[in-house]
């Protein structure tokens, strides 16, 4: 009976730990873009379109900056976007966001690209099998609310 209680207690404590989803910020921070630049202003025109309609990941500015920010993880999000469903791009104030998930695994593996157009900064959240990692071009900027909300889902 004691053994069953010990096993049950261990199982419950491990289960709670596994379910806890805390975003992990990337140590790889890059900042070579001028704050206040209008380089990302073109993103506003993508509002309500799907990422595949505007070839978001093939856009030179986005592609170059994401490749630098994410390294080999850029290939991971490219692979997801090839077959994965997406929601329409949102632009609210100065915040751009685009969400895509892995086909047949949406709840567990997905990503979000967020840009603060006014600050000229890009952020990415990658969820892979429920583990969340956040990336930022500027380690001194707080993550936008839309990214935090996504990471807590």
Q: What is the mean pLDDT of the chain?
A: 82
Higher pLDDT, 82 or 16: 82
CB-CB neighbours of 117 under 10 Å: 20
Q: For residues 66 and 101, what is the distance between their CA atoms, to the nearest angstrom?
A: 17
Query: Containing domain of residue 100, as a range?
Result: 21-151
- 138 sits in the region (left: phi over 0; alpha: psi -120 to 50; else beta) called beta
Residue 72 lies in a domain: yes
Q: For residues 5 and 2, what is the distance between their CA atoms, to the nearest angstrom?
A: 5
Residue 13 lies in a domain: no
pLDDT of residue 24: 45
Q: Is the pLDDT of residue 67 over 70?
A: yes
Residue 29 lies in a domain: yes
Higher pLDDT, 1 or 101: 101
Residue 59 lies in a domain: yes
Q: How many domains, in total, are found in the chain?
A: 1
Residue 28 lies in a domain: yes
Which residues, at least 6 apart from 111, have a Cβ–Cβ distance to it below 8 Å?
A: 77, 80, 99, 100, 101, 124, 125, 126, 127
pLDDT of residue 55: 94
Q: Is the pLDDT of residue 36 over 80?
A: no
pLDDT of residue 79: 93
pLDDT of residue 5: 38
- Ordered DSSP codes for 24-69: EE-S-----S-TT--TTGGGGGGTTS-TTTTTGGGSHHHHHHHHHH
Residue 7 lies in a domain: no
pLDDT of residue 153: 86
Q: Is the pLDDT of residue 57 over 90?
A: yes
pLDDT of residue 151: 95
Among 33, 10, 24, 37, residue whose Cα is nearest residue 133: 24
Residue 61 lies in a domain: yes
For the beta sheet containing 131-136, the strands, ordered from the edge strand earlier in sequence to the opposite edge, are 24-25, 131-136, 121-128, 110-116, 95-101, 90-92
Mean pLDDT along residues 6-34: 38
pLDDT of residue 37: 64
Q: What is the pLDDT of residues 76-127, one digit of tens each?
A: 999 999 889 999 999 999 999 999 999 999 999 999 999 999 999 999 999 9
Residue 5 lies in a domain: no
């Amino acid at each position: 009976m004691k053994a069953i209680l010990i096993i049950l207690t261990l199982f419950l404590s491990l289960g709670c730990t596994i379910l806890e989803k805390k975003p992990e910020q990337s140590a790889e921070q890059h900042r070579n873009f001028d704050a206040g630049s209008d380089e990302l202003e073109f993103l506003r025109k993508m509002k309500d379109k799907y990422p595949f309609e505007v070839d978001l990941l093939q856009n030179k500015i986005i592609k170059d900056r994401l490749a630098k920010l994410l390294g080999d993880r850029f290939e991971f999000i490219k692979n997801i976007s090839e077959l994965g469903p997406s929601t329409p791009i949102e632009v609210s104030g100065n915040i751009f966001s685009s969400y895509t998930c892995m086909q047949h695994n949406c709840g567990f593996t997905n990503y979000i690209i967020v840009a603060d157009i006014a600050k000229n900064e890009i952020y990415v959240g990658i969820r892979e099998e429920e583990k969340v990692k956040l990336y930022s071009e500027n380690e001194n900027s707080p993550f936008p609310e839309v990214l935090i909300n996504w990471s807590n889902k």
